[in-house]
Chains A and B, each alone.
Chain A
Amino acid sequence: MNDLRHRIHHNGGLLAAIALFIVMFIIYISNHPVGLTAAVATTATNKAVLLALVAMAQTLPVLTRGLDLSVGMVFILANCLASVFVVGTIGEGLLGIVLVLGAGALAGFINGAIIVWGRLQPIITTLATGAVYYGIALYVRPGPGGDVQSDIADLATGQLFGVVPAALVVLLATVLIVWLPYRHSVLGRAAYAVGSNEQAAYMSGVPVQRAKLLAYTLAGLLAAIGGLMLTFNTYSGEASSPIAGTYTLNSIAAVVIGGTSLFGGWGSAIGSIFGAFVLRTIEDLLFVFDLDPLWQPLFQGVVLLAAVSLGAVRVLRIRNRLELFA
């Protein structure tokens, strides 16, 4: 019983995000003209999973008290690469997928390498590498277009057994294959340790450098999975810097809503998934309530700002003003 109390205490942010999502989703579905059908669910899922994956990617650097401002660019880069390489037969397509994922992981690894060995700040590093990744995306796909292996694409964006959105399965698989093992690995826990207190982590013998490297590398991989899914949705690639920027920004908001601390050491990628779902549902709600499209960007901006401002509750708890500056 005592264990349970502690577990709830540890996962308060996650539980709040899940509850918020459920409430909003119920409001959405009950106001949707068609209601909850497999098709509605699949459309909603296909969009939401993209942000969920990018938000998962953002979670890992944030846990180490870093930030990856290039996740959106890696996402777009993967999209453009996929529109070129994930073509042909199913076999060639699968090979292309491996290539795209590898490229994403490499991009993440480069971020990590510069941060760890070059000892530059994560913000400035990923801002600069983001420009490079965007340049590569533009080089690969100067104008919107391309194609994607349609059998794989249809499978990944359709429904399993006619009910379950396949994108949800992809997301679940990512959680099971990437996140959960990571969370329970020595290096995954080291990421939390680094974010919690880097100095103490070093003194305790935590592999600080490897933990950061892995966090950024996996962030690249997860963003690339998102980029692949985007390609499967649109059947094309587009090197769009606004889309990249939006995903980067929303990923940070999703991470915050999901209960992960921007000061590192605390949170989970599962929370970020629900944070992403919450953000997407807000957009859908604007749609079902027929808000003037002109108001939508402002409304979303305000929601984002409000979401990130949630972090301010920390200030209320601080009773020694010197801790404000830590």
Chain B
Amino acid sequence: MSDTAPILEMKHVSKRYGGIAALNDVDFVAYPGQIHAVLGENGAGKSTLIKIAAGVTDPSDGELFVEGRRVNFRNPVEAMAAGVVCVFQELSLLPDMTVADNLSIVSPPLRGGLIDSAGQRQRARELLAMIGCEDVHPLELVRDLPLSRRQMVEIAKALGKRPKLLILDEATSALTAADVERVYAIIRKLRSDGTGILYVSHRMHEIEALADVATVFRNGRRIETFKKGERSVSAIVQMMIGRELTHHYPDKPAPKPMEPVALSAKNLSWGTQLRDISLDIRKGEIVGLGGLDGQGQRSLLLALFGVLKGVTGTVEIMGKPHRLSGPRSAMRAALPVALIPEDRKTEGLMLPMNIRDNISLASLSRFKRGLGLDGSKEHSAVEKMIDSLKIKVADLAAAVSTLSGGNQQKVVLAKWLMTGPGIILLNDPTRGIDVGTKQEVYQLLRDLADKGVAILFYSTDYAELIGCCDRVLVMYNGGIARELEGQHLNERTIIETALNVDDKEQAA
């Protein structure tokens, strides 16, 4: 590889947000004609690396070279001009515009200084054909496309910029198996044409299938770069986590078939996103939700909490019918329901408000005294939650945004535990929080379960599901593909079911 000049080179790059280093003195090199996998847990620094390369954010320290030239991208446009193009995990398409508009949004074909719409359509047709998406009409609006098609359009858009270095950040998360194969083919074709590719994925088999070189990140540092086949999967996993896999989960108790069913759902459906879902959760049980991202897990949790309109099917809580009409009725059910939402920054917390206000928000009616609030009662209740969850807080009056990610998540948990829930729905609660806090969350969940709380736990981390849950429901394409329990609950079966590779389960 050393005979070709690198397309991208980073020297001593660091990025700090406030006092926290997201990237720490990283050296990184990517070559043309090479597929370079970037591995690491959430928060390991991968996305910061990508954002710096793509000009979305600038490094606090260090230097960036593209084709040997020192660059200093001020925005994504400059990065694109230099040939660095990124397909972001969060889609960057414009929903109200046509596919053709989106594909040529930056440098459209011009005629007489104005956008040549016929030329633009032609270009769209070519790009769509290139990724095998002839079924998408160039004049279709992006907002009318299903998620999987949008992701393909996003890839087509990146290809249209003729990248020298293409960065794919979890670019296949919503794709069907056939599309994934097509994307692989395109990537290999680009490689043979001499394009450099940075490929970020959590899926080990994707890495194995595609990558020539891989780099593992952990805690903002580059741990190791190695060629394909030089390291075994377990060695790579070891590098990513830096600790033994199995040690840190609380012991699972024996199954409790005699406990009453706390939450029972029958034939829940919601558009195309939830298909005929039935499940039972007993008191004291931790049930996991697995599968690839975006198979309906999030919708299922929101549906059970009453946030979605037009859900069909029935839900019973402690045997009593429960109407899915919103969070307030969920909180007043026979067993109060709590939802730890997916995005704590936008759905869980009021970042600029202080810690006390955030924790007590869902329980305010308990502190009413006369017209006002009983401040001292509230204060002591909040203190109690902070103690029991070991939230590291200097000042109750400080804004939640000053806390670390892990402590923020604990504040969300505290808010809901304060309401005394009997059923807890968790939507990927450990995403982006430190290992220590994760451990505490696992222990907390098990303690709650031991006290009789029923828990439905969605996680994108398979190890977590295996380690924490009594049972795991693996979702595929809006339905429950399979229930895994006991010895069948292992990484292999989860991945197989999630990818729908087991023929018997070919549901869709």
A residues sitting closer than 8 Å to B (CB atoms) are 2-3, 6-7, 9-10, 181, 184-186, 189, 192-193, 195-197, 200-207, 261, 265-266, 318-322
User: Once the chains bind, are B105 and A321 in contact (CB under 8 Å)?
Assistant: no
The answer to whether residues A6 and B101 also contact, given A189-B115, A202-B76 and a CB cut-off of 8 A, is no
B64-85 residues at the A interface, CB under 8 angstroms: 75-77, 80
* Residue B505 CB within 8 A of the other chain: no
Q: Could you say which residues of chain B place their CB within 8 Å of the CB of A186?
A: 108, 110, 115
* Residue B92 CB within 8 A of the other chain: yes
Known interface pairs A184-B115, A206-B106, A265-B95; 14 further A-B residue pairs with C-beta atoms within 8 A, sorted by A's residue number = A7-B139, A185-B114, A189-B97, A192-B94, A192-B101, A196-B94, A196-B95, A201-B94, A203-B76, A203-B88, A204-B76, A205-B75, A266-B96, A320-B308
User: Once the chains bind, are A196 and B97 in contact (CB under 8 Å)?
Assistant: yes
The answer to whether residues A193 and B326 also contact, given A205-B80, A321-B308 and a CB cut-off of 8 A, is no
Q: Which 7 A-B pairs have the closest CB atoms?
A: A6-B139, A265-B96, A205-B77, A196-B96, A203-B92, A184-B114, A196-B94
User: Once the chains bind, are A181 and B310 in contact (CB under 8 Å)?
Assistant: no
User: Once the chains bind, are A205 and B137 in contact (CB under 8 Å)?
Assistant: no
The distance in angstroms between the C-alpha atoms of A253 and B73, with both chains bound, is 43
The distance in angstroms between the C-alpha atoms of A189 and B76, with both chains bound, is 18
Of A185, A193, A319, which one neighbours B105 at CB under 8 angstroms?
A: A193
Q: Could you say which residues of chain A place their CB within 8 Å of the CB of B75?
A: 202, 205
B85-132 residues at the A interface, CB under 8 angstroms: 88, 91-98, 101-102, 105-106, 108, 110, 113-115, 117
The distance in angstroms between the C-alpha atoms of A7 and B121, with both chains bound, is 13
User: Once the chains bind, are A322 and B347 in contact (CB under 8 Å)?
Assistant: yes
User: Once the chains bind, are B96 and A321 in contact (CB under 8 Å)?
Assistant: no
* Residue B271 CB within 8 A of the other chain: yes
The distance in angstroms between the C-alpha atoms of A322 and B110, with both chains bound, is 40
Q: Could you say which residues of chain A place their CB within 8 Å of the CB of B93?
A: 200, 204
The answer to whether residues A185 and B76 also contact, given A193-B105, A195-B96 and a CB cut-off of 8 A, is no
User: Once the chains bind, are A197 and B94 in contact (CB under 8 Å)?
Assistant: yes
Q: Could you say which residues of chain B place their CB within 8 Å of the CB of A203?
A: 56, 76, 88, 92
User: Once the chains bind, are B309 and A319 in contact (CB under 8 Å)?
Assistant: yes
User: Once the chains bind, are B308 and A200 in contact (CB under 8 Å)?
Assistant: no
Q: Could you say which residues of chain A place their CB within 8 Å of the CB of B101?
A: 189, 192
Q: Could you say which residues of chain A place their CB within 8 Å of the CB of B108?
A: 186, 189
User: Once the chains bind, are B302 and A322 in contact (CB under 8 Å)?
Assistant: yes
Q: Could you say which residues of chain A place their CB within 8 Å of the CB of B77?
A: 205, 207
The distance in angstroms between the C-alpha atoms of A200 and B86, with both chains bound, is 13
Please list 27 pairs of residues, one from A and one from B, whose beta carbons are closer than 8 Å in the complex, sorted by A's number.
Answer: A2-B139, A3-B139, A6-B139, A10-B139, A10-B141, A185-B113, A193-B105, A196-B94, A196-B95, A196-B97, A197-B94, A197-B95, A200-B94, A201-B105, A203-B56, A204-B92, A204-B94, A204-B105, A265-B94, A266-B96, A318-B309, A320-B299, A321-B307, A321-B309, A322-B302, A322-B307, A322-B347
Q: Could you say which residues of chain B place their CB within 8 Å of the CB of A321?
A: 307-309, 326
The distance in angstroms between the C-alpha atoms of A202 and B55, with both chains bound, is 11
**Chain B residue with Cβ nearest A316:** B309
Q: Could you say which residues of chain B place their CB within 8 Å of the CB of A185?
A: 113-115
CB of A187 to closest CB in B, whole Å: 10
CB of B35 to closest CB in A, whole Å: 23
Q: Could you say which residues of chain A place their CB within 8 Å of the CB of B95?
A: 196-197, 265
Q: Could you say which residues of chain B place their CB within 8 Å of the CB of A319?
A: 270-271, 308-310
CB of B335 to closest CB in A, whole Å: 22
**Chain A residue with Cβ nearest B307:** A321
Of A2, A193, A322, which one neighbours B94 at CB under 8 angstroms?
A: A193
* Residue B140 CB within 8 A of the other chain: yes
CB of A176 to closest CB in B, whole Å: 13
CB of A218 to closest CB in B, whole Å: 15
User: Once the chains bind, are A320 and B96 in contact (CB under 8 Å)?
Assistant: no
